[in-house]
Each structure stands twice: as C-alpha cells, then as structure tokens.
Structure 1
Amino acid sequence: MQRLTLDRLAPFALLVLGTVLGLAGTDLVLPAIPALARDLGGTPAEAQWVLAAFTAGAAAGLLLFGALGAQQDWRRLLMVSAASFAAVSLAAACVDSIWLLIGLRFVQGACGAAAAVFAPAVIRALFQGPHAVRALAAFGSIEAMAPALAPLAGAALLARWDWRASFAVLAALGALLALALRWQAGRLPERLQLAADGSYVRLARNRCFVRLALSHAFSLAALLVIVFAAPAVFSRLSDAPVRAFVTMQMVGITAFVLVANGAGLVIERFGALQLLRLGSLLSAVSSAAIFGAALLGMGQTPVITVLFVLLCTGFGFRAPIGFHAALTSAQGDDTRAAACIVVAMLLTTALGTAVVAPFVDSGMAAPAAVAWLLACTAAVLGWRTAAPPAAGRAA
C-alpha cells in the first residue's frame, strides 16, 4: 500500500469511525430490543419496527447524501451528519413512547448514513489503483467486525444499565466524531473528483455500473441471508446455539479479513477480473454445498460453519475488487454510486431474509437455496463484465 502518512491515516480513521457508528446503530441496540419493548409498553412486533425504521432511514439517508455530496462540501455534510446523529441518539435515550422511538430511529438512520456514502470516494482520492483496492479491503475488514463485536458491547451495557445506555453511547460517539472532524478538517481532502452532471437516472442507464453494483449487492446478500437465518436454525441443531452462531461468525469474519486484505497483492499477479470471477464462483459453489448438505440431512452446525467459511472466503476475494470496479464504472459519480450500491445491498438482503423467514424453523435448506440463487446471479452478472477498470495490473 502507498505510504500511510498522517494525512492519509486521519481521514481514513475518521471515515472508519463514521461508518462503524452507522452500523452500530443497529448492532449495539440489538440486544436491548426486548427490554425497550417491555419498558415502553410495546409489543414484540412493534419492537421489530425499531430495527426496521433505522434501516429504512439509512436507505433514505444514503440516497440523500449521495445527491448532496456532488453539490456540497462533503466535509461539512459529514460533520452535520455526525452532530445530528448524536442529537437524535440523545433524544432517543429520553423517550417514553415506542412509536416516538420508532420515528426517531428513522431520522437517526438517515443522519448516520453520510460516512458510508463518502468513504469510497475519499479512499479513491487518497489511494490509486491496487492501493485503493487494498485500502477498501482494510476498510471492509474493520466494518466486518462491527456486527460481531457491537452486540457483545450492547449486551454488556444492558447488563450494567438499561436499554437507554446504548443510545447514550451512540450519542457520545457521534459528538466525538463531529468534534474530531472539525479538528481534522484541514487533513481531509477538500475536493473529490465527482461528476458535476451526474444523476441517479444516468447511473440507472449505465449498464456496466448496474451489473457490477447488483453483482456486489447479490454476493453480499447471499452471505447475509445465511447469517440472519443461522440463529433460528442453530436453535434446532445445537445445545448451545448462541455459542455455535458466534463461532460461525468469528471464523467467517476471520476468513474474510485475511482473504480481502491479501486480494490486493494477488491482483498484481493474476488480474482483477480473474479474482472477481474466482470469488463469485467460490461463493456460488459454497452456498450450493450448504443447500445440498441441508437436503441430505448433513446440515449440522460444524458442517454449516465450515462451508460458511468458504462462502466468506469467496466474498473476501471479490468484495474489494467488485466495489472498486462498480465505483469506477460510475465515471466519477462516486457518491451517488456508493449510495446506490449500499441501498441495493440493504434491499436485497431484506428481501432475501423476508422470503426465507417462514421456513427457517425447518432448517438451512431454504436460506441456502436463496443464497445459492443470489450467488449464482452475482456470478453471472460479474462474469459478463469486462476487466474492472483501474483495478487491474496496470492500475
């Protein structure tokens, strides 16, 4: 990777914190959902809306910041995002109505979406070619830790205080991020190379971008459909379902981190297109293997865990390259492109999870079938694409 000077490290670290903070809006609060429903007089179904509202708000915020980022100073937008996220989080910690909390969660999700939009464009401004792919891999590796570690922190906060503590921590972290962004504003790139005449309509007409964006979104959704179904499936298959799920998550994340961070080195030898295709193929094969094992009655937790590691390995090969290639194909409209990619990931995962929800009590067959379909679609879309621009050997 290019020399990691303070001028590169500071914006990279701030963007990581901002993106992880947005993810923590769901994962840190997750263990407290039953408690807040009880304390606020809500039902379990209403408590699920606390999660869904945040996701819906995040999707709206991604599209909003994606459009504003091409017109306004991105540094100011990121500071406003962090400060407003802190204020809304603090307000959420003080509510006494679950429906008021649901409304605030939508606003909180929208406010916290800016870092996910701006991070790819800033990383591409700080690093070039394969170095940008490696930086995106490091960025994604840190992001991958949030879903594994944040629920543990949320559970510790809940055991020590109550559900309001998670929102108070989010408020404090958001305020610290806003202050850090103001303090380090001089180290942040003033201008990003963005298309002045870009639009969501133009992106929708860019067939190369649409194929690469959907390929990346479907590939991640294939993995997350398995993850979201695993707790319910493991509760039937294991005497210690929580431990089995945590084990699967940790070994899968470890595989992803190791492979994703090594992908930048492999690109220089084999080329980005070959690695993208290898990752897509491995994802399709491993999800098919999980489906086959479930159908044959071999879908026990150790088998699923081993095959899940292969699925994470496949995504690790293709994730940094696929995301970078999709951004590059947007021809400078990085903020809108990043927003579209993340929204596609959210919507595809939500749809896949909803489809398999009625069948998770029967085992891993239905989730694995949907994951296989998603992975195969991702492979076909990625296979039809020419060599990802600016990510190959010569970049």
Structure 2
Amino acid sequence: MTTTPSRHVGTFLLIVSGTVIGIAGTDLILPAVPGLPAALGGDLPRAQLVLASFTAGAAAGLLFFGELGARFDQRRLLAVSLLAYGSISLICSFSPSLDALIALRFLQGASGAAAAVFAPGLLRLLYGDGRAVGALGLLGSIESLVPALAPLVGLWLLGLWGWRASFDVLAALGFALAAITLLRHHHLPRPAASRNGGGYLRLLSDPVFMRYALSHACTLGALLVFVFGAPTVFTVVMGGGIADFITMQMSGIACFVVASNLAGTCARRFGAEPMILLGNVISAAGGVAMLGYALAGGTDPLGVTAIFLLFNIGLGLRGPPGFHRAVVASRGDDARGAALVIVAILLVTSLGTASVAPFIERGLVPLSAGAALIAVSGVLLLLLLPPLKHES
C-alpha cells in the first residue's frame, strides 16, 4: 500500500479534497434529480440536463484552467476556483427554476475543474517522479470511492433537508477549502510557467503525448461506458435488480483500489511502460471476455461481475503510471497536459455511451461490444504510437 511522507500529508489531503468535491458535484446530487421537476417545474428529461450541464461545464473548465495554469500561479488559481465553486454552489440552492439551475450547473462544473487539472503536476513536484506514481495511485483510490459513497450521503441529505442540502454542503466545503488553500498556499509546490509554445495544439500534434492520453482515455472510457449501461441491462434485460449493479460496482472499486496502490511499486520494479501495456491488455481482455460471455448467452449477474473486475484491475495497474507518463510527455506543460487527458476521457465516455444507447435494450451484447472496442483501441494506440524514449 502506498504511504505518504508525514511532512506532505496535509498538502496531499488538500489536493485530494479539491478533486473530490469536484467529482461530488455530480454524485452527491444524483438522488435529488428525480424530484427536481416537482420542486422547480419541468419534466424528468429536462432534469437530466442538470447532470449533463455540469459535465459540459467541467470539460470547458478543464481547458480553461489548463490554459491559465500554464501561465499563472496555480496555487492562487486553485483558491479562486474553490471560492467560485462554493459561491456558485450556494447560488444553485436558491435556483427559482429548473432552467436556472441547469445554467448555473454549467458554471458550477467549470469553476470546480482546477483541482483535477493541477493535481497531477502538483503531486509530481511534491514527491518527485520516483514517488509520484504511488501518490497518483492513492489519489485515484480515494477518488474512486466518491461515486460509491456520495450518492448515499446525498440520499441522506435529501431525506433530512431536501434537494438544496447537497448544494449547501458543496458550498460550505468549497469555502472551507478555499480558505485553507489561501492559508497553506506556501506548502503547495509552485509549478513554473510553461516553457513550451504552441499550447494545446502542440500537445494534440505530439504523437508521444497522444499515446498516453488516448490509451488512458480508452481504458477508463471502456469501464465507464460499461458502468453507465449496466443498470439498464441488469434491471430491464437480464431480469436482475439494482442490487446486482451495486455489487458489481463495489467489487470493481475494491479491485481498482488494490491494483492502483500496487501500481507504484510495480512500476518501480518492472518499469512504467510494461505496467501500462499490461494494464491495457488486461482491460482489453475483460472487454473481449465480456463480449464472448454475452454472445454465448450469459445472463448471470455474478458472471458479469467476475469479468468486470478485469476492467478495474487493468485500469488500476496502468492508471497511475500512465497518467504520470502523460504529464511527463507534456514536457513542462503539466496543466494543459492533465486537462487534455481528462477531456479525452470525457469525450471517449460520452461518444461511447451515445453509440451504445440506441441498442441498450438488446442487452449485454452491444454494451460489451462497445466497451471491448474501446479497450482494444487503447492497446492498439500503445503499439502504434511512439513512447517516451527514457524512463522518468
């Protein structure tokens, strides 16, 4: 298990907390979404835009803060981001209509994106390249718990104080973390301004950077596409229940946490590149095995869960060293590099989910085919595009 040096624990927790409340902006709100039309007017399809708007805003915010972070002091930008996130979250709780909430959610998603952009580069500076992979693994482990735990907290808040409570909690956390960031900003490492010209266009045209960014996006995207479609397949097509989906999710998260915390040690022992390729191959094997199981007529939720674990193990093993190598491959442009990796994940997931959606009522075959295609594409990208020339 990865350990964090005691002198950096407070700084690490501050960085993690900033990324966690950004993720919680979706998962904490989920339980309240079905009741929003009754509270604010509108209908259920429009209520779903409360989630989509936040995601779109986050994508815009990633690119925005990636550009700012390459030019200005990321420590101050992080404090401003958290303060804006808290302020807009508070305003969201006073929304007079569903349309107003949808618009505010775009701003909320954009304002909270800084921590996700800055975290990989800050951790790299904090721990050095030798220990950064382990720190990224621990960060990913903590982040992976949010989709599992935040909806439960959101449901509890909804029952006690209504739909506004989750926004109030996000506001309070945003204000608190902004204050702590301002008080402890001298403990955060200060990344140098980007030394490279060309901005995003330079990174997008660099095959070495794109190798790591797109292969990572394919591995995580394949997992998320399957997760997004699994509830419908389990409950509507396979005759199971939502408890089957929860079992699958919790089992997958447990495997991911173990694998991602082993990734740093394994990368130091065997090298980053072998671990990245191994993780992608395991993920692709999971996709192909799931498709084979579906074509064979498999309908047992436990069988699906067992195969699904391969997606999580593969992502856990390749995620930390792969993301670290993407940041290294940005060649001093850490903020823009991290932003593009996360935007690539969002795009792959969105396009994959949209492509599978028209066929989701046909069951496991189209869902597993989509996930397998994405995962196998990640392996092909690793084999076809050039790697970094030296281990970092």
One-letter amino acid of the counterpart of residue 138, structure 2: A
In structure 2, C-alpha distance between the alignment counterparts of 1:193 and 1:325, rounded to whole Å = 19
Superposed CA deviations along residues 311-361 of structure 1, whole A, max 9, x for unmatched, are: 111111111111111111111111001110101101110111111112222
The alignment status of 1:242 with 2:238, answered yes or no, reads no
In structure 1, C-alpha distance between the alignment counterparts of 2:372 and 2:106, rounded to whole Å = 32
1:69-148 matches, within 5 Å, as 69-148=69-148
In structure 2, C-alpha distance between the alignment counterparts of 1:113 and 1:303, rounded to whole Å = 37
Cα drift, residue 41 of structure 1 = 0.9
Match of 1:44 in 2: 44
Q: Which deviates more, 335-344 or 359-368?
A: 359-368
In structure 2, C-alpha distance between the alignment counterparts of 1:264 and 1:154, rounded to whole Å = 33
The question of whether the paired residues in 2 share the 8 Å contact of 1:158 and 1:165 is answered with: yes
Match of 2:17 in 1: 17
One-letter amino acid of the counterpart of residue 84, structure 1: A
The question of whether the paired residues in 2 share the 8 Å contact of 1:283 and 1:314 is answered with: yes
In structure 2, C-alpha distance between the alignment counterparts of 1:259 and 1:163, rounded to whole Å = 36
In structure 1, C-alpha distance between the alignment counterparts of 2:227 and 2:68, rounded to whole Å = 33
The 3 A distance-change label for structure 1 pair 350 and 375 is same
In structure 2, C-alpha distance between the alignment counterparts of 1:128 and 1:363, rounded to whole Å = 46
The question of whether the paired residues in 2 share the 8 Å contact of 1:213 and 1:326 is answered with: yes
The question of whether the paired residues in 2 share the 8 Å contact of 1:121 and 1:192 is answered with: no
Cα drift, residue 196 of structure 1 = 5.0
The alignment status of 1:4 with 2:31, answered yes or no, reads no
Cα drift, residue 236 of structure 1 = 3.0
Cα drift, residue 383 of structure 1 = 2.6
Match of 1:150 in 2: 150
Match of 2:333 in 1: 333
The 3 A distance-change label for structure 1 pair 387 and 63 is closer
Match of 1:169 in 2: 169
In structure 2, C-alpha distance between the alignment counterparts of 1:364 and 1:191, rounded to whole Å = 46
Match of 1:356 in 2: 356
In structure 2, C-alpha distance between the alignment counterparts of 1:127 and 1:108, rounded to whole Å = 31
Match of 1:232 in 2: 232
Cα drift, residue 265 of structure 1 = 1.2
One-letter amino acid of the counterpart of residue 85, structure 1: Y
The question of whether the paired residues in 1 share the 8 Å contact of 2:260 and 2:319 is answered with: yes
In structure 1, C-alpha distance between the alignment counterparts of 2:230 and 2:331, rounded to whole Å = 39
In structure 2, C-alpha distance between the alignment counterparts of 1:350 and 1:386, rounded to whole Å = 27
Cα drift, residue 299 of structure 1 = 3.1
The question of whether the paired residues in 1 share the 8 Å contact of 2:211 and 2:387 is answered with: no
In angstroms, what is the RMSD of aligned CA positions? 1.6
Residue 129 of structure 1 aligns to a residue whose secondary structure is: helix
Residue 127 of structure 1 aligns to a residue whose secondary structure is: helix
Cα drift, residue 210 of structure 1 = 1.2
Cα drift, residue 44 of structure 1 = 1.0
Cα drift, residue 388 of structure 1 = 4.8
1:299-378 matches, within 5 Å, as 299-378=299-378
The question of whether the paired residues in 1 share the 8 Å contact of 2:208 and 2:387 is answered with: no
In structure 2, C-alpha distance between the alignment counterparts of 1:41 and 1:137, rounded to whole Å = 42
In structure 1, C-alpha distance between the alignment counterparts of 2:389 and 2:80, rounded to whole Å = 33
User: How many residues were matched structurally?
Assistant: 391
In structure 2, C-alpha distance between the alignment counterparts of 1:16 and 1:389, rounded to whole Å = 31
The question of whether the paired residues in 2 share the 8 Å contact of 1:130 and 1:267 is answered with: no
Match of 1:292 in 2: 292
The question of whether the paired residues in 2 share the 8 Å contact of 1:273 and 1:386 is answered with: no
One-letter amino acid of the counterpart of residue 20, structure 2: V
In structure 2, C-alpha distance between the alignment counterparts of 1:167 and 1:239, rounded to whole Å = 35
- Could you state the TM-score of these two structures normalised by the residue count of structure 1? 0.95
Cα drift, residue 180 of structure 1 = 1.0
The question of whether the paired residues in 1 share the 8 Å contact of 2:54 and 2:109 is answered with: yes
Match of 1:191 in 2: 191
Residue 128 of structure 1 aligns to a residue whose secondary structure is: helix
Match of 1:280 in 2: 280
Residue 128 of structure 2 aligns to a residue whose secondary structure is: coil
- Could you state the TM-score of these two structures normalised by the residue count of structure 2? 0.96
Cα drift, residue 254 of structure 1 = 0.7
The question of whether the paired residues in 1 share the 8 Å contact of 2:214 and 2:341 is answered with: yes
In structure 2, C-alpha distance between the alignment counterparts of 1:262 and 1:190, rounded to whole Å = 28
In structure 2, C-alpha distance between the alignment counterparts of 1:51 and 1:23, rounded to whole Å = 12
